[in-house]
Amino acid sequence: MLNVETLSEGSVTQQVNGRLVIETEGQGFTEITDAVSRWVFGTGILNGLLTVFCRHTSASLTIQENADPDVRRDLLTALDRLAPREADYVHSTEGPDDMPAHIRTMLTDVTLSIPVVEGQLVLGTWQGIYLVEHRDGSQTRDLIFHLIGA
């Protein structure tokens, strides 16, 4: 029988909001793991929950392999196959990359929540947090963070 083991218990006293602005340069992944980890550690909150929120509908978030960059290349190819640029979209006024960008956003994540234990995100060894830009050109992307705990 599966049993969840309790690791720690504690009070809840504090919350902090943060913001990260990222200039992207066309379709691709920007890793934010280090920036987020440093900020979480700097808040002094040792145990709690971090939430990352992406304020866009043509860029999104994902947690993916941080080792071989070829994985990210294949993920972009997969998104291109799942939301092809050359499909016959009704919404086409913002360019051929816009509607595929909305679909790719829908299939990935606009928000991620990650527990924090002893000042560290509980990410696995191979997990990195990424902003994924789905548009062709340069864009300014705005992420909001919420951290709650003690």
In the chain, the N- to C-terminal Cα span, in Å, equals: 32
> Of 78, 85, 96, 120, which lies in the binding site for a copy of itself, with binding defined by CB under 8 A?
78
Do 21 and 32 contact (CB within 8 A), yes or no? no
> Rule CB under 8 A: is residue 145 a binding residue for a copy of itself?
yes
Positions in 53-72 near a copy of itself (CB under 8 A):
53, 55-57, 62-65, 68, 70-71
Taking a C-beta distance cutoff of 8 angstroms, is the pair 112, 33 a contact? no
As measured in angstroms, the least distance from the Cβ of 23 to a copy of itself is 10
Among residues 33, 29, 8, 2, which one has the least CA distance to residue 20?
33
Q: Does 75 bind a copy of itself (CB under 8 A)?
A: yes
Please report whether residue 85 would count as binding a copy of itself according to CB under 8 A.
no
CB crowding 119-130: b at 16 or more within 10 Å, else e: eebebeeeebbb
When asked if residue 7 is in the footprint of a copy of itself (CB under 8 A), the reply is: yes
Ranges within 108-127 binding a copy of itself (CB under 8 A):
108-115, 117, 122-124, 126-127
Please report whether residue 27 would count as binding a copy of itself according to CB under 8 A: no
